[in-house]
Amino acid sequence: MSRYWSEVVHNLTPYVPGEQPKLPDLIKLNTNENPYGPSPRALAAIQGEVADTLKLYPDPNADLLKAAIADFHGIAPANIFVGNGSDEVLAHAFLALLKHTNPILFPDITYSFYPVYCGLYGIDYETVALDDGFAIRPEDYRRPNGGIIFPNPNAPTGRALPLAAIETILAGNPDSVVVVDEAYIDFGGETAVPLVARYPNLLVVHTLSKSRSLAGLRVGYAIGHADLIQALVRVKDSFNSYPLDRLAIVGGAAAMADREHFDRTRQAVIASRDWLTAEMSGLGFDVLPSAANFIFARHPEHDAGELAKALRERSIIVRHFRLPRIEQFLRITVGTDAQCQALVAALREIAA
Ligand SMILES: *Cc1c(COP(=O)(O)O)cnc(C)c1O
The confidence band for 1, taking pLDDT boundaries of 50, 70 and 90, is confident
pLDDT of residue 72: 98
Domains annotated for the chain, with CATH where assigned, are: 16-37+260-351 (3.90.1150.10), 40-257 (3.40.640.10)
Q: Are 300 and 284 in contact (CB under 8 A)?
A: yes
Is the pLDDT assigned to residue 303 strictly greater than 80?
yes
Ligand 1 proximity of 182 Cβ (cutoff 6 Å):
no
Q: Give the residue whose CA is nearest to atom 11 of ligand 1.
A: 183
Q: Give the residue whose CA is nearest to atom 2 of ligand 1.
A: 183
31 CA: nearest ligand 1 atom: 1
Ligand 1 proximity of 176 Cβ (cutoff 6 Å):
no
Share of the chain above pLDDT 70, in %: 100
* Pairing relationship of beta strands 148-151 and 286-287 according to DSSP bridges: unpaired
Mean per-residue pLDDT of the chain: 97
Rounded Cα distance, 181 and 270, in Å:
19
How far away, in angstroms, is 282 Cα from ligand 1 center?
30
How far away, in angstroms, is 349 Cα from ligand 1 center?
33
Is the pLDDT assigned to residue 18 strictly greater than 90?
no
Q: Pick left, alpha or beta for residue 181 (phi over 0 → left; psi -120 to 50 → alpha; otherwise beta).
A: beta
Closest CA to 273 of 298, 299, 292: 292
87 CA: nearest ligand 1 atom: 9
Ligand 1 proximity of 213 Cβ (cutoff 6 Å):
no
Rounded Cα distance, 112 and 185, in Å:
18
Predicted model pTM: 0.97
pLDDT of residue 271: 97
Rounded Cα distance, 275 and 272, in Å:
5
Closest CA to 68 of 231, 327, 252: 252
Ligand 1 proximity of 33 Cβ (cutoff 6 Å):
no
Is the pLDDT assigned to residue 142 strictly greater than 80?
yes
**What are the tens digits of pLDDT across the range 159-202?**
999 999 999 999 999 999 999 999 999 999 999 999 999 999 99
Which of 89, 181, 204 has most ligand 1 atoms within 8 Å of its beta carbon, as the pocket-test mutant?
181
How far away, in angstroms, is 283 Cα from ligand 1 center?
30
Ligand 1 proximity of 111 Cβ (cutoff 6 Å):
yes
Of 5-19, 99-113, 338-352, give the lowest mean pLDDT range: 5-19
pLDDT of residue 233: 98
pLDDT of residue 352: 82
pLDDT, mean of residues 244-266: 98
pLDDT, mean of residues 304-317: 96
**What are the tens digits of pLDDT across the range 84-141?**
999 999 999 999 999 999 999 999 999 999 999 999 999 999 999 999 999 999 999 9
pLDDT, mean of residues 269-298: 98
Which of 69, 161, 205, 210 has most ligand 1 atoms within 8 Å of its beta carbon, as the pocket-test mutant?
210
Q: Give the residue whose CA is nearest to atom 5 of ligand 1.
A: 86
How far away, in angstroms, is 284 Cα from ligand 1 center?
30
How far away, in angstroms, is 86 Cα from ligand 1 center?
6
How far away, in angstroms, is 69 Cα from ligand 1 center?
17
88 CA: nearest ligand 1 atom: 9
